[in-house]
Structure 1
Amino acid sequence: MTETLTKAPAVTADTLAAFSDAFNRHDADALMRFMTEDCIFDAAGGSEIHGARFTGRAAVKAAFEAVFRTFPDAHWGHGRHYVAGGRGVSEWVFTGTHAEGWRIEAEGCDLFEFRDGLIAVKRAFRKERPKQAA
């Protein structure tokens, strides 16, 4: 009997667009379906050289949910998505009102690494801007 091995579908620009759509819906469960079990998320801010790092689905999901609580109207607009082999980039403009009342509008991007048709690493980068009144 010959065993058929199925290869995971490659991540495409459309995959990254769907991932971005899940962010804009604030749907952490949907986001995690795009990511590996041992995924890594490096947030745009934090005290380490890579920002704040979250490892594993539970920690990454909690980090995403914290963003949605901190910026209840968070939105990543004007998305452009690119994939080259096992890596990808999403460019966007982040807008949101912080729970403390100030607004942000800043360009940013995510750098991705893929494995087995899923996102293994997401590194977020965002322009640093002064706080704006809401």
Structure 2
Amino acid sequence: MDRALLTRLTLDFTDAFNRDDLDGVMSYFAEDGIYDEFNGIRNVGKAANRQAFEPQFRGEFGQIRFHQEDLFVDAESGKSMISWTLTMAGDGRKGGWRGLDLLHFRDGKLVQKHTYAKTQKPLVQKLA
């Protein structure tokens, strides 16, 4: 994949979140795309991914915006990492956190989205 194309896909995908455009976000995912949430929940397939994002796009967490910090792209592997500060406001909520997304693209479609967030307490999971 071309470096400029991978950069554009990553930035445009992130911008779709900031436009509150769920259909736009979903247009990037492959049919069998994976979304690993920051809380350890794994969603597989467009329907499951859409369902995972719906509360955010309904405004259940207030207005959420992602402010880019860094972007790294590996065009050869089709992978990018975008770090961000998330801000949220509304319904008496105001705050945010820092995090990042590891994105894996294949043939111009997002096949994996792994989200990580800085927290005060790590998510401890049983490993295989």
Cα-to-partner distance string for 1:91-117 (whole Å, 9 max, x where unaligned): 110111476x44332111001111111
TM-score, structure 2 length as denominator? 0.79
Provide structure 2 residue ranges, at least 5 long, that are not aligned to the other structure: 122-128
Q: Hey, what does 1:70 align to over in structure 2? A: 60
Aligned residues: 117
Aligned-pair identity (%): 32
8 Å CA contact 2:97–2:117 kept in 1: the answer is yes
Larger Rg: 1
Q: Hey, what does 2:13 align to over in structure 1? A: 19
8 Å CA contact 1:70–1:98 kept in 2: the answer is no
How has the CA–CA distance of structure 1 residues 21 and 79 changed in structure 2, closer, same or farther, with 3 Å as cutoff?
farther
* Structure 1 residues 94-113: aligned runs within 5 Å: 94-97=86-89, 101-113=92-104
How has the CA–CA distance of structure 1 residues 22 and 111 changed in structure 2, closer, same or farther, with 3 Å as cutoff?
same
**Superposition RMSD on alpha carbons, in Å?**
2.3
Q: Structure 1: which 4+ aligned runs deviate by more than 6 Å?
A: none
Q: Hey, what does 2:113 align to over in structure 1? A: 122
* Structure 1 range deviating more: 115-124 or 103-112: 103-112
TM-score, structure 1 length as denominator? 0.76
Cα-to-partner distance string for 1:62-93 (whole Å, 9 max, x where unaligned): 21122233323011013433220221111110
